[in-house]
Amino acid sequence: MQYHRKKVYEDKVSQSSGTEQHFLDITAYVCPMTFVRARLAMERLGAGQELVIRLSSGEPLENLPRSLAELGYRVVSLLAQEGGSAHLLRVAKD
């Protein structure tokens, strides 16, 4: 039996502000793995970098922004994507 790992983390650089942004798609995961993956990705960032997290509605949307803020990360924005089933959460490591 083969297992395929979905690529969930890829680097991107913002063209408008020059701020280095990273992207994480956790829509395929449920809590607590959504938090675990987001926290590990945030820990890999350097100061001043941002992580854009694509997350599902429901429990991840309710808990992840609050949990990351409690860890000391700054929630920059939270936007619903078209259709409202997924959201983009932008978090900064200061």
- Per-residue pLDDT tens digits for 57-87: 999 999 999 999 999 999 999 999 888 889 9
Domain that holds residue 40: 9-92
3-state secondary structure of 86: strand
Residue 81 lies in a domain: yes
Domain count, the chain: 1
Q: Give dist(CA 80, CA 55) in Å, integer.
A: 10
Q: Is the dihedral of CA 94, 74, 20, 39 positive or negative?
A: positive
Share of the chain above pLDDT 90, in %: 69
CATH number reported for the structural domain that contains residue 76 in this entry? 3.30.110.40
pTM, entire model: 0.80
Q: Give dist(CA 90, CA 76) in Å, integer.
A: 5
Task: Write phi, then psi, for 60 (nearest 5 degrees).
Answer: -60, -40
